[in-house]
Amino acid sequence: MVYVDGSSTSTGSGAGIVVESPQGDKFQYAIKFIFPATNNEAEYEAFIMGIKLALSVGAKIMTIHSESQLIVSQVNGNYEAKEDKMFGYLTQVNELLSRLDSYDVKQMPRMENESADRLAKLASSLANIDNRKITFLTYGKEETDESNVTIFYSDSEKPSWKDEIIDYLRRVNLPANQVEAQKLIVRAARFTIIDRELYKRGFSSPYLKFLTLAKGNYVLRETREGICRNHLADRALTGKALCQDTYGKQ
């Protein structure tokens, strides 16, 4: 099941997409467009992105819900796409739908498509943000709430296997034992130091920043339960963490 909505406002445009699996797993996306789009264009962009997201997780049978009567009617062949831009969108939609075993496209009232509508409005109302270090948080209790507990994150590190590698990369310090020294040289070749942080080299992936056990647990918790709000299975959770260019090992 795919629920899509597009929104165009004075601050910009964006898409809201909800993809739900037969098992009840639900993934929600608020996508900010950094290009101008009319409301119909935003609706089509959302429609196309929704199909692509569902295809990326292996979906072969889809029911796609949209509020736009124009788009649903054009996709179902009831309306003709006369404008060049709309015809281009429709051509792309038909190409994506041809990859499915079967599909159904339905118009859905806004009240019944509330999740996608809310995500689209959120995305379109956001100003353009160029700094990727900005973190969005939600807070559920007032500061005066006596039950409010502040959790401090400790960055203290216990001694680990990486200390020997860092010491070698920084100072070329090697163990006195030649066998152990050779093992360290081979192992350290897979790592590098950038801005005093340890990174693991990758053949087909970007450098992965080393995380301590405590930091690694924090990243996984935030990805699965925190601000990302995606309750992922083990493999998907690991993949999402790696997409953040992180590498954790005890």
Three-class SS state of 18: strand
Residue 101 confidence (pLDDT): 95
Give the residue from 62, 61, 57 showing the smallest Cα distance to 236.
Answer: 57
Residue 167 confidence (pLDDT): 81
What is the tens place of the pLDDT at every residue in 34-80? 888 999 999 999 999 999 999 988 899 999 999 999 999 999 999 99
Pair 125, 10: CB distance under 8 Å: no
Cα dist from 93 to 1, 9, 47, 66, 234, whole Å: 16, 24, 8, 13, 32
Residue with token string 């509020």 = 67
Contacts of 28 (CB under 8 A, 6+ apart): 16, 17, 18, 115, 119, 229
C-alpha span between 72 and 68 (Å, rounded): 6
C-alpha span between 221 and 224 (Å, rounded): 5
Q: State the angle between helix axes of 84-97 and 39-56 in degrees (0 to 180), rounded to the nearest 10.
A: 20
All structural domains of the chain with their residue ranges:
2-125, 162-248
Which of the following CATH numbers is that of domain 2-125: 3.30.420.10, 3.30.160.150, 3.40.50.150, 2.160.10.10? Answer: 3.30.420.10
User: Which range (87-96, 104-113, 139-148) has the least confidence?
Assistant: 139-148
What is the tens place of the pLDDT at every residue in 154-183? 445 556 777 888 888 887 778 888 888 888
Pair 9, 125: CB distance under 8 Å: yes
Residue 44 confidence (pLDDT): 95
What is the tens place of the pLDDT at every residue in 114-151? 888 888 888 887 765 555 555 555 556 665 555 554 44
Residue with token string 């739908």 = 97
The pTM of the full predicted model, rounded to 2 decimals, is 0.54
Q: Which of 19-33, 170-184, 208-222 has the highest mean pLDDT?
A: 19-33
